[in-house]
Structure 1
């Protein structure tokens, strides 16, 4: 896609972080915008700001971990704008801690949002795009955490590796049928977003159980502390929207924003091919 004016963009997780940056860039390019998020108040505030930019925009409260919500988002998009040209499967959360300590409820939550959120978006919107048979693009938000692994983040790495794999496989399938749908997977490093405050966006069925001792544990508190630090000291977010749209224009599949991780990604692949066992020393000594 190179011509965006008048086209329709759908963004999940649009009230904060990357989603809000995408919405601003869509407005700058005179697109029609469907903003969705699980947080009603944040979504209303974000939508108001995008409307003040002069954009034609609607908002839809959506829990991407529920297919019926994402299907309703697709239906609302067609009811309002008759088509969809650009989809950002962007909603995401984080949960840190050792796999054997992390409550199963946290696993269900992060997989529901980060993995099923993408699955639901693809299932609801790809048939619409195929039927349109017009140039379309899908951007799935993953992370550099989907291209490498580190200690104490097993749930996040699991979901982000899944995000990359889903995008690669679906992209092959769309190519095989000569579809006009292009795809990208966005794999940033640490950026100044609201990701470290994910807990405040938990729906009721995934709420933290105050009686679970894990949430008073050192593992949980250390994870929160590290999350706040790496996000607050990350890359400024203001260039992300433009960078991603340039990648869309150039039909770039892998969108990487932090080149200093490339040697780590390369080492992981090299070690696999050479039969070198993973070693925690690489991370402990840095």
Structure 2
């Protein structure tokens, strides 16, 4: 069955939909004929994308939501079910980055990463999944991990930790949904490789007082180098939707690239190798 057959006519809720892969997923969902709820903390970004999609003949609804706040996410779920309809696809996508040595990371920056990247996914599941279960219709939950969820990288520990957490959370959630007998709910983990976004520019850094700012900003520049060759978000979204329609659990924007990182991670764990610091500036999952 094609992605259009599965999703057309349904409602998609996407957090962090205002930019990056979230916007790409929203654009592709709209092109498949879905009603798209664009949830973002940036009202201007959500409004602009909704205007674009609606002008193109789609049906998009902007919604301001702070995924760090469980009440904000719960209110979003109530509004969607009251005003838009039952959700066929929930995409917990909102995410932020952080650069710098872990011991230099400001507490506020650590909390920001955990609250958005990990707790934001949890709040989405708590707010929407019971309603999706009760509706009884085939529905999908996608949680955004990352190639960083199967790799280890210095100077990005909070982000890498958060994406490992999201992957484990999603794997456990899939088992729990099966254990509870909710066969109409399909849980899938999305692992993007490099996809064009502004996540590196908006990433947190470290304070200048006694912290190694140069190391943090050098890592930011290294990631911006990767961005120059990153995948277009709409192209990435099409790959994800097509893989989801095939029934895969791990949805990889760049199957070969991300798959190599998954294989290497499995090999490291199986051989119980200690992490090895590589001298290459650019991240290559095959060398981690």
The Cα of 1:147 is off from its aligned counterpart by: 0.9
> What is aligned with 2:116?
113
> What is aligned with 1:172?
175
> What is aligned with 2:47?
44
When the two structures are superposed, what TM-score results if normalisation uses the length of structure 2?
Answer: 0.89
SS in 2 for 1:197: coil
Structure 1 CA distance for aligned equivalents of residues 210 and 223 of structure 2: 17
Structure 1 CA distance for aligned equivalents of residues 66 and 75 of structure 2: 10
1:274 to 240, 251, 271: 271
> What is aligned with 1:80?
83
The Cα of 1:214 is off from its aligned counterpart by: 6.8
When the two structures are superposed, what TM-score results if normalisation uses the length of structure 1?
Answer: 0.90
The runs of at least 4 consecutive aligned structure 1 residues that moved more than 6 Å come to none
Structure 2 CA distance for aligned equivalents of residues 83 and 123 of structure 1: 15
Higher deviation after alignment, 24-33 or 112-121: 24-33
> What is aligned with 1:247?
243
> What is aligned with 1:10?
13
Asked if the contact 2:14–2:93 (Cα under 8 Å) also holds between the matched residues in 1, the reply is yes
The Cα of 1:215 is off from its aligned counterpart by: 7.9
Asked if the contact 1:103–1:214 (Cα under 8 Å) also holds between the matched residues in 2, the reply is no
> What is aligned with 2:199?
195
Listed one character per residue, the Cα deviations across residues 192-229 of structure 1 (whole Å, up to 9, x for unaligned) are 12212335xx9xxxxx89x7537882123223322322
The residue correspondences of 1:61-76 to structure 2 (distance < 5 A) are 61-76=64-79
Asked if the contact 1:27–1:53 (Cα under 8 Å) also holds between the matched residues in 2, the reply is no
SS in 1 for 2:128: helix
The residue correspondences of 1:227-238 to structure 2 (distance < 5 A) are 227-238=223-234
Higher deviation after alignment, 218-227 or 139-148: 218-227
Structure 2 CA distance for aligned equivalents of residues 284 and 21 of structure 1: 28
> What is aligned with 2:104?
101
Structure 1 CA distance for aligned equivalents of residues 147 and 25 of structure 2: 19
Would you say 1:34 and 2:37 are equivalent positions? Answer: yes
> What is aligned with 1:262?
259
Listed one character per residue, the Cα deviations across residues 68-89 of structure 1 (whole Å, up to 9, x for unaligned) are 1111110110111231111110
Aligned length: 278
Asked if the contact 2:100–2:212 (Cα under 8 Å) also holds between the matched residues in 1, the reply is no
Asked if the contact 2:98–2:159 (Cα under 8 Å) also holds between the matched residues in 1, the reply is yes
